[in-house]
Structures are given as C-alpha cells and as structure tokens.
Amino acid sequence: MGLSSNHALQRAKRTLDAAKAGHTGTLDPFATGLLVCCMGRATKISGAMLNADKSYLATVRFGEETDSGDLTGNVVSQAPAGFAGTDEAALRAVLSRFTGSISQIPPMYSALKRDGKPLYEYARAGIELEREPRQVTIHKLELVSFDADGMQAVLDVDCSKGTYIRTLAQDIGRALGCYAHLTALRRTRVGPFPLDRSVTLEALQDMADPKTALLEMNELPAGLMPVKPN
C-alpha cells in the first residue's frame, strides 16, 4: 500500500513551500498513477476539476469477488468449482454492455458519507448499508490484454466523475458468472492532464528547484482559468 492521496499532497506542498494546496480527486489506497495537485492560486480550479472525466488502466482477476472490490479485501464469492478461466469472446461481449450510461451501486469501501461518517468506517465494523444506484458514464471500455489462461485481463477505461472502477470490475465478473476483483488500478488521465506529463513525488523532492515542475496559471488548458468577476 502506498501513500494516501492527502499524504502525497502534503509532501508535495512542503516540497514546494506552498501556502495552500488541494487535489482534484483521491486515488484508492492500492491504486497508482496520476494525482493532480493544485498549489497556491491554482487551488481555485481544484473544485471544478473534481467533475472532470478520468482514465484508468484496470487489471481484473476473474474467479473471486472481494468485499472491497480489490486485492486488499476478503473473498466473499467464488466461481463454481472447476472454473478454468473466462472466454475472451464472452468478455468482449460483456464489455459492450458496460459502455455509455450505466447504473452503479457505490461500494461500502468508499468515502461517501452516511450521517457524517464515511461508508468505509461502517464496512470495517461489519455493517452493510443500503445504497442508492447512481448513473455514471463509461465513454470507453477496451480490452488491452487478456491472459492465455483466461484468469486476468487489463482494461482501458475512460469514465465520468463518480465512477467506481472496483464496482465496474465486480459487475463485469457477475455478468460473466464467475466473479472478479481488481488486482491493480492506474489512473492515466484527469481531464486534460495525462500521466505522461506528470512527475513522481520522489523526483519532485530530488529537484534542485522543485517549482520548475509547476504548470503556471497562464499555461492551463483552455476553460480551466478561473473567471474573474465583473
């Protein structure tokens, strides 16, 4: 398990000696990839960026479902005895059913709140609460690779705000009749910001002048600049 999104943000803030800092959406604790951090005046755009579409590479393991939807959880459901992997053609057919506007039930292991308390706190106490389905949009869902044994696949996902990739993997596994969970998740894009333009936290901390890694306000993509009141 790596740093939490907030711990990574605070380390970047200290490294850059910024007065204010914010990010544009947390990563799951087991996930890797892009965390867009806004420093100083740029914190004005962090709220708007929370609504941005995002992209992920998701590694899905077939045969077992966990309570958290990922490899950190406890197994709660398993494929029937004798399961020897899923079929690529069947997987492709199921993926086509999960593009466009779909309904998701948020996972218990999430930061959504009920009565002021995050759902994951209820989950850790062994309490499962009823959750209302939510509409999200999957703009792209492509099969990147498929293991020859039919036990694992990597998916490329472009999705709207509020999409849970762990839930997507679970729902795909259920549709296949074999269950599934994530073993890896990497965020590759947030809005107009791609992973390949980012810098690692370690590289930032090793820079002689870390502020050279910052994107200035006048360099922001069109539409992100805060609008000045008349």
- What CA–CA distance (Å, rounded) separates 18 from 65? 42
Question: For residues 169 and 139, is the Cβ–Cβ distance under 8 A?
Answer: no
Tell me which residue has tokens 């941005």: 52
| CA–CA distance, 137 with 54 (Å, rounded to integer) | 11
The residues assigned a catalytic role are 28
Q: How far apart are CA 56 and CA 189, in angstroms?
A: 7
CA dist list (Å): 221 to 166, 193, 225: 30, 9, 8
- What's the rounded Cα separation, in Å, for the pair 184 and 30? 7
Residue whose entry in the numeric block shows the structure tokens 């994951």 = 120
